Amino acid sequence: MKITPILERSDPRIAPYIGVRERDLTGGADGRFIVEGKVPLSILLTKSRFQVDSLFLGESRLAPLSDLLEKVPDDVPIYTAPQKLMDEIAGFPIHRGILACARKGPGLALDDLLDARRLLVLNQISNHDNVGAAFRNAAAFGIEGVVLDAQSCDPLYRKAIRVSSGSSLWLPFHHGGTGDSQIAALKAAGFTVWAMTPNSQAAALQSQPIPDKLTILLGAEGPGLPQNLLEAAQPIRIPMQDGFDSINVATAGAIALAHVFSKT
């Protein structure tokens, strides 16, 4: 394990960590993404399918992380800096003092997930907190993979990874395409697609038998799922108090996933 001190912001070796928030906004066009925090770092090093480029740690984090750092491959550099310099490089206070850079590599195709029995599908969900929470819920309740359309945000966005408690680093996912094509492919592969909606005309969640192959489909906060997707799937509602519109999409997903998990 080789620890390399960083003494100035202009050091080219830590270029991927300069202006982390700005890199988030550009989407990591070079195929690299940033991981923040101890739990996501542990998953990245022990359970993830992604290649690790480097680690960047605050000096005070080296001793507490010594056991975890033993798992870092020999060819992966570990950079360290005083907290003040690390904050200047990242562009905001890195309170956890833990960053890593990894590479996305080739994405999974939708076909790679079709042998599963339980999938979660996210449609037009552009909020990183909701995507991260949806991944965390999916991992908690035994979902084998997540499908996201092209308009949903990247689950490897730094904040999405953190909110997912690192589950987006190991849970298989496909990102791309349209909801129409995804539902068609899932139905052709034998999946029943439950489209979650607050519509009072939809069947109640608790009234439905659990299919052998099931996909739960979630739409964006506010507009919900487009009508064409509701018509292509089986609309399902979570019964709730009269006069109340809906609940957070990740919460709705957790309720539906927990119900399915408890019955299988």
Give the distance from CA 262 to its chain's centroid: 23
**By residue range, what is the domain housing residue 51?**
3-103
| pLDDT the model gives residue 24 | 61
Q: Is residue 237 located within the same domain as residue 114? A: yes
Can you name the residues that pair with 174 across neighbouring β-strands?
A: 147
Residue at token pair 């909606």: 197
Q: Is residue 158 located within the same domain as residue 245? A: yes
Q: Is residue 96 located within the same domain as residue 217? A: no
| Tokens (6 digits) for 88 | 């200047």
Q: Of 43, 76, 103, at which residue does a domain stop?
A: 103
> In whole angstroms, what is the distance from residue 18 CA to residue 237 CA?
45
Q: Of 83, 103, 123, at which residue does a domain stop?
A: 103
SS3 annotation, 9-73: CCCHHHHHHCCHHHHHHHCCCCCEEEEECHHHHHHHHHCCCCEEEEEEEEHHHCCCCHHHHCCCC
Q: Is residue 127 located within the same domain as residue 154? A: yes
| pLDDT the model gives residue 96 | 86
Q: Is residue 119 located within the same domain as residue 210? A: yes
Residue 86: partners with Cβ closer than 8 Å, 6 or more residues away:
56, 58, 94, 97, 99
Q: Is residue 118 located within the same domain as residue 245? A: yes
Count of domains in the chain?
2
Q: Is residue 241 located within the same domain as residue 140? A: yes
Q: Of 82, 103, 124, at which residue does a domain stop?
A: 103
Q: Is residue 115 located within the same domain as residue 240? A: yes
* Total number of residues shown for the chain: 264
CATH number at residue 178: 3.40.1280.10
Q: Is residue 99 located within the same domain as residue 117? A: no
Question: Within 10 A of 256 (CB to CB), how many other CB atoms are there?
Answer: 23
Q: Is residue 125 located within the same domain as residue 185? A: yes
CATH number at residue 27: 3.30.1330.30
Residue 220: partners with Cβ closer than 8 Å, 6 or more residues away:
123, 124, 125, 126, 127, 249
Q: Is residue 73 located within the same domain as residue 120? A: no
Q: Is residue 249 located within the same domain as residue 149? A: yes
Per-residue pLDDT of the chain (264 residues; tens, 9 = 90+): 789 999 999 999 999 999 887 666 555 567 899 999 999 999 999 999 999 999 999 999 999 999 999 999 999 999 999 999 999 999 888 888 999 999 999 999 999 999 999 999 999 999 999 999 999 999 999 999 999 999 999 999 999 999 999 999 999 999 999 999 999 999 999 999 999 999 889 999 999 999 999 999 999 988 889 999 999 999 999 998 887 777 899 999 999 999 999 988
pTM, 2 dp: 0.93
| pLDDT the model gives residue 23 | 63
Can you name the residues that pair with 210 across neighbouring β-strands?
A: none
